[in-house]
Amino acid sequence: MATLPKNESAIGVTEFKSKCLGLIDDVATGKTDRIILLKHNQPIAAIVPIEKSDADPFELWGAMRDTFTILPDVDLTEPMEDVWDAWDAKVWDVGK
């Protein structure tokens, strides 16, 4: 394997299993920029920190905001004309 930059390290997956919590903390705190996991001396994965941003990358509430427009004459509280039958045999017998 090529020489790693100063703030990166490589570790075999077997050794990683016993040290993973400490190594993850090293990446999270910035002590290490990246840890490359090796299996049979070949890189298979990397542990890297999540990029910091003002927006929470895991926040889903409002994720679709401003991506569509509800027309003025549409009442979303009005019942639909179509009746759906969840127990319709045609739906459940697909593939028979």
Is position 33 within any domain?
yes
**Residue bearing the bigger pLDDT, 3 or 34:** 34
Is position 59 within any domain?
no
SS3 content of the chain, % helix, strand, coil (to 5): 20, 20, 60
Give the pLDDT of residue 90. Answer: 59
Is position 80 within any domain?
yes
According to DSSP, the residues that pair with 10 across neighbouring strands are: 36
- Name the domain count of the chain: 1
Instruction: Give how far the C-alpha of residue 39 lies from the chain's centroid of Cα atoms, to the nearest Å.
Output: 23
- pLDDT tens digits, 6-24: 788 999 999 999 999 999 9
User: Domain span at residue 42?
Assistant: 8-49+67-91
Give the pLDDT of residue 47. Answer: 94
Is position 62 within any domain?
no
pTM: predicted TM-score of the whole model, two decimal places? 0.52
The secondary element (H helix, E strand) that includes residue 15 is helix 13-29
Is position 57 within any domain?
no
76: domain CATH number is: 3.40.1620
- pLDDT tens digits, 42-73: 999 999 988 776 666 666 777 788 888 888 98
